[in-house]
Amino acid sequence: MIKEYIEQNRDVIVSTLQDLLRIESVKGHPIQGGPFGMGPASALNYILSLAEERGFVTKNVDGYAGHIEYGEGEEYVAVVSHLDVVPAGDGWTHPPYGAEIHGGRVYARGAIDDKGPAMSTVWALFALKELGIQPKRKIRLIFGLDEESDWQCMEHYFRYEPKPIGGFTPDASFPLIYAEKGLTTFRIDIPADAESMSLQVLSFEGGERFNMVADHAVARVDCHSATAANEFALRLRKSAKEAQMTTSIESEDCIVTVQVNGVSAHASRPDSGVNAVIQLAQLLGSGTVSNSSMWRTIGSWDTKGRGLGIDTEDEETGPLTANLGKAELVDGTYRFYINIRFPIRLKVDQLLQTAQSYLSDKWQVSVIEHLPPLYIDPQSVLVQTLMDVYRSFFDDGLEPRTIGGATYARAIPNAVAFGALLPGRDDFAHKVDENWIVDDFLTCIEIYAEAMTQLSNKL
Q: 69, 84, 146, 369: which one is catalytic?
A: 84
Nearest to 205 by CA among 101, 151, 289, 281: 281
Cα separations (Å) of 263 from 76, 145, 267, 274?
A: 42, 26, 12, 5
Q: DSSP per residue over 155-197, as a string?
A: HHHHHHSPPPSEEEESSEESS-EEEE-EEEEEEEEEEPP--TT
Question: What is the rounded CA–CA span in Å between residue 424 and residue 136?
Answer: 34
197: number of Cβ within 10 Å: 8
Rg (CA), the chain: 24
The verdict on whether 147 is a catalytic residue reads: yes
Question: What is the rounded CA–CA span in Å between residue 183 and residue 406?
Answer: 7
The verdict on whether 84 is a catalytic residue reads: yes
Residues, the chain, total? 459
225: number of Cβ within 10 Å: 11
Question: What is the rounded CA–CA span in Å between residue 83 and residue 45?
Answer: 11
Nearest to 111 by CA among 122, 127, 103, 100: 100
Q: DSSP per residue over 31-70, as a string?
A: BTTBTT-HHHHHHHHHHHHHHHHTT-EEEEETTTEEEEEE
Q: 147, 171, 434, 446: which one is catalytic?
A: 147
Question: What is the rounded CA–CA span in Å between residue 83 and residue 42?
Answer: 10
Supply the residues annotated as catalytic: 84, 147
